[in-house]
Copies of this chain bind each other. A is one copy, B any other.
Amino acid sequence: MGCIVMKFGGTSVGTTEKILNVAKRILDEKKRGHEVVVVVSAMGKTTDELLSLANEITHEPSKREMDMLLSTGEQITISLLSLAIMQLGGEAISYTGWQAGILTESVHRNARIIDIDRTKVERQLKEGKVVIVAGFQGVDQYGEITTLGRGGSDTTAVALASALSAERCDIYTDVDGIYTSDPRSVKTARKLSEIAYDEMLELAHLGAGVLHPRSVEFAKNYDVPLVVRSSMSAEEGTMIKEEVQMENNLIVRGVAFESDIVRITVTYEVPFNGSLAKIFTTLANHHIDVDIIVQSIMDGITPSVSFSIKKEDFAETIRILNSEKEVLGYTDADFEVGLSKVSIVGSGMVSNPGVAARMFDRLRQEGIPIKMVSTSEIKVSVVVPQSEMLQAANALHDEYGLSPEDAEVSL
């Protein structure tokens, strides 16, 4: 049997008791005959505690020193987990990012992995040890400690799995897999046994929140099968891979939704040249995250562009639009708050025309107005009133046969 990479997040290793549980799981996997590499994050609250210490000193911390500070979090976890495995009779060795050969760009707080020197890790695996690697961190060519930013430990796990040609990379989380929709709001939502990278990417971007898009991209690029599963139960999780069996002939694999969306519409008196680039460049410079952009220019109609932003960026966006009005060259700006976004995702859409039409029709039947539409190869998103978000999500979940009974029927 080959090598597998197991990744445990901060809540899974939040206490020494949980660390001992994780150690047990690791040894179970080892007993099945696998070579096991484990990637861990900092213990539950460690990162927050370190951040608050830094915050007591300065509000504008050097990124380099923050990497120095925060990288201690995973280093604590790897040593404790290694001790726990030994306590349970296993053999283990822990490595920091730099020891594990994780070379990154010379960028702090958001570095990308450039290369992995797997010499040390492979030598220890050959000796039968469980190798425990600190997630989220690496080292640049100058010997500076770097961190990978959000979702960093997932990325470390996937990168190691790729470098070691691992059979798969198991991501242990506090959920037991990827669902057709959020089970808290859509009662008939069910767990998927498989999902394609691209579908997962769209769901991740849409706020399904289990995996950081970066690690899914990485897994896709290097063709590493990912499994999302619970660290609390032995249940099978959801496998994310390239070719997905079209289980139950589902065209749509999931319904995602996101609240607190604001639509901004900017109107121009004359057709604009370059204004479109100018407005979104300005917003990007101010770190405003623009999601959907809709623009249509027709003869005889006042040219305008609409885009959606998150509610927390609303005040700042309005401030920028007002102060930069002359530079941006628009005549009028309008907005609508209290909106939400509902999306359907599925790679089956590509070969099934009419999926979007069916979505619009169902929403019309439900009496839900559509404010904006955005489509990709495997996703259709609509902006609808927030008050009708859950109704829309449930209706679409039903429409595309994602609920268990439907699923059975369509077999």
Contacts and interface: CB of A to CB of B under 8 A. Distances in A.
A347 interface: no
A161 interface: no
The count of identical subunits is 2
A244 interface: no
A72 B76 contact: yes
Contacts of A57: 16, 19-20, 80, 83-84, 87
A250 interface: no
Interface stretch (A60-68, A166-174, A253-261, A333-341): A60-68
Interface string A83-100: 110110000011010110
Nearest to A58: B87
Interface in A36-75: 50, 53-54, 56-58, 60-62, 64-66, 68-69, 71-72, 75
A50 B66 contact: no
A300 interface: no
A78 interface: yes
A68 B56 contact: no
A79 interface: yes
Contacts of A58: 83-84, 86-87
Q: From DSSP, what is the main secondary structure of chain A's interface residues?
A: helix
A17 B53 CA distance: 10
Contacts of A80: 53-54, 57, 69
A104 interface: no
Contacts of A153: none
A82 interface: yes
Contacts of A367: none
Contacts of A209: none
A143 interface: yes
A203 to B, nearest CB: 36
A341 to B, nearest CB: 39
A113 to B, nearest CB: 19
A58 B80 CA distance: 9
A79 B84 contact: no
B82 A53 contact: no
B94 A65 contact: yes
Contacts of A61: 83
B50 A76 contact: yes
Contacts of A145: 96, 99
9 contacts: A53-B76, A57-B83, A57-B84, A58-B87, A65-B79, A65-B82, A68-B94, A68-B96, A120-B143
The 5 closest A-B pairs by CB, nearest first: A69-B79, A16-B56, A68-B79, A72-B72, A58-B87
Given A16-B53, A20-B57, 7 more contacts: A57-B83, A57-B87, A58-B84, A62-B82, A64-B93, A65-B86, A72-B72
